[in-house]
Amino acid sequence: MKWRVTVTVRLKEGLNDPEGRVIGKALRNLGYAVDGLRVPKCFEFELESERPEEEVEEMCRKLLANPLIHSWEYRIEPVS
């Protein structure tokens, strides 16, 4: 079966996100009242698999994220 997968990878809570900090500061300089801006990575792909949850979890642990510093979540939907 074919699946549409979206994986979002974020730095774990408490870790410094320099890109988020710079973008947040720029938005505040433009007059927007933002705080705590973080920049996640988003991966979107299609996957042919009979066990998509296991494979996506494995992909995250092996390549898409560093388990020491990242957390991740994913959404898996059938391709119609």
Q: Is 69 exposed, middle or buried (0-12, 13-18, 19+ CB in 10 A)?
A: exposed
Query: Which SS3 state, helix, strand or coil, does residue 38 take?
Result: coil
pLDDT at residue 66 in the model: 97
Domain residues for the domain of 49 are 2-78
Nearby residues of 51 by Cβ (< 8 Å), 6 or more positions away: none
Domain CATH number, residue 51: 3.30.1280.10
Give, in order, the Cα–Cα distances in Å from 6 to each of 3, 19, 46, 49, 53: 10, 22, 9, 15, 12
pLDDT at res. 32: 98
Residues 23-38 have pLDDT tens digits of 999 999 999 999 999 9
pLDDT exceeds 90 at position 72:
yes
User: Token pair of 63, please?
Assistant: 């390549």
- What is the share, in percent, of the chain residues with pLDDT greater than 90? 99
Q: How many domains does the chain fold into?
A: 1
Q: 80 pLDDT exceeds 90?
A: no
pTM: 0.89
